[in-house]
């Protein structure tokens, strides 16, 4: 591997900026600011620039602006990829996928606003859209990682038996964990956790048939997380590749999994405060990105750079 190219640096910037935008979107939900611009999109209360905006309006409007920049950065990445890399390049595939998922993200965001699935809305429809919203952000990050990874001149090779078996299962597992986590976070925001009682007493109350479905679903996420975490740790402690990069990625994945499990436990114990939800989401995005990178490393082999 040679020096990091300007394209790779820009790709890293786009991925980092995208994660920051995702975090800000979560803050919009946590603060109940999703209806800050009313049911108007792309305008805000029917205006291009809102006058005398409330705090909620400022939060929602700033999220729209940062999301718009994400689109511009992704378009730039797409154009650069098609100018600098040849036809059939995995870089082009990654940049195209990134752009498509950003556009899908905009559509989902607009749908949430136009159909008023924001604020205190606690409908099944909102829960479903929130789940798909999370899956879409994971897809966006995955293609962003693919763009950076393939820009370094790597090519896919035939995977080993272990990765043929584990990658699809763990990918599906992580998506399920992410969806359940997004729905759980929505429930924690709309129905704050009562931390004045013990965990077992809280569990008994939350699972009552009289409780809202978002409250009753609260404990599916931790159970799924534990199962998937065990699978990730099994892969991380026995990486197929023994080189330094494969070993580093495996150690990083293991560290992120253990950190995420600890953050999840703290999130439950503390009653899911907003700042902890943000931390939990950040590590979820980092863990997902590391998993995708490790999977690509173990499905691929180094080759001469594709950059022209």
Question: pLDDT at residue 229 above 70?
Answer: yes
Q: How many residues does the chain have?
A: 308
Give this prediction's pTM: 0.90
- Top-ranked range on mean pLDDT: pick from 47-51, 152-156, 190-194, 253-257: 253-257
Return the half-sphere exposure (C-beta side, CA atoms, 13 A cut-off) of residue 43: 7
Question: pLDDT at residue 300 above 90?
Answer: no
* pLDDT score of 156: 57
In this structure, what DSSP letter does residue 119 have?
A: T
User: Strand, coil or helix: what is 5?
Assistant: coil
Q: Copy the structure tokens of residue 284.
A: 């979820």
Res. 197 pLDDT band, cuts 50 70 90: confident
Q: How far, CA to CA in Å, does 166 sit from each of 57, 62, 98? A: 44, 40, 24
Q: How far, CA to CA in Å, does 269 sit from each of 133, 223, 281, 304? A: 26, 15, 17, 50
* pLDDT score of 22: 96
Taking the C-alpha atoms of residue 17 and residue 20, their distance in angstroms, rounded to an integer, is 5
Q: What average pLDDT score do residues 236-240 get?
A: 68
Res. 154 pLDDT band, cuts 50 70 90: low
Residues near 173 by beta carbon (within 8 Å), at least 6 away in sequence: 224, 227, 228, 231
Res. 162 pLDDT band, cuts 50 70 90: low
Question: pLDDT at residue 242 above 60?
Answer: no
Burial class (CB in 10 A: 0-12, 13-18, 19+), 233: middle
Mean pLDDT of the chain: 88
* pLDDT tens profile 59-109: 999 999 999 999 999 999 999 999 999 998 999 999 999 999 999 999 999
Would you say 50 and 61 are in contact if contact means Cβ atoms under 8 Å apart? yes
Domain ranges of the chain: 6-302
Question: pLDDT at residue 304 above 70?
Answer: no
Question: pLDDT at residue 307 above 60?
Answer: no
Question: pLDDT at residue 238 above 50?
Answer: yes
Taking the C-alpha atoms of residue 59 and residue 4, their distance in angstroms, rounded to an integer, is 36
């Amino acid at each position: 591997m040679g020096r990091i190219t300007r394209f790779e640096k820009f790709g890293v910037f786009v991925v980092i900026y995208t994660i920051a935008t995702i975090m800000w979107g979560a803050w919009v939900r946590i603060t109940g600011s999703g209806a800050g611009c009313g049911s108007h999109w792309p305008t805000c209360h029917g205006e291009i620039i809102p006058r005398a905006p409330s705090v909620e309006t400022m939060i929602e409007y700033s999220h729209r602006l940062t999301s718009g920049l994400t689109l511009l950065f992704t378009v730039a990445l797409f154009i650069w990829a098609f100018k600098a890399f040849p036809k059939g390049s995995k870089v082009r595939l990654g940049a195209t996928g990134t752009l498509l998922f950003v556009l899908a993200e905009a559509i989902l965001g607009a749908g949430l606003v136009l159909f008023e699935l924001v604020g205190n809305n606690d409908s099944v429809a909102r829960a479903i859209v929130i789940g798909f919203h999370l899956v879409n952000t994971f897809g966006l990050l995955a293609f962003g990682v693919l763009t950076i990874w393939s820009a370094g001149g790597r090519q896919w090779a035939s995977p080993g038996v272990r990765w043929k078996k584990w990658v699809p299962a763990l990918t599906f597992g992580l998506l399920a964990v992410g969806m359940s986590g997004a729905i759980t976070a929505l429930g924690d925001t709309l129905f704050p956790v009562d931390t004045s009682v013990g965990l077992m007493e809280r569990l008994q109350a939350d699972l009552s048939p009289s409780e809202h479905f978002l409250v009753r679903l609260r404990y599916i996420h931790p159970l799924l997380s534990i199962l998937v975490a065990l699978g990730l740790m099994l892969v991380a402690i026995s990486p197929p590749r023994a080189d330094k990069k494969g070993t580093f990625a495996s150690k990083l994945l293991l560290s992120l999994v253990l950190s995420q499990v600890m953050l999840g436990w703290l999130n439950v114990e503390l009653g899911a405060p907003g700042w902890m939800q943000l931390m939990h989401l950040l590590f979820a995005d980092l863990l997902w990105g590391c998993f995708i990178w490790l999977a690509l490393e173990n499905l691929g082999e180094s080759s001469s750079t594709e950059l022209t």
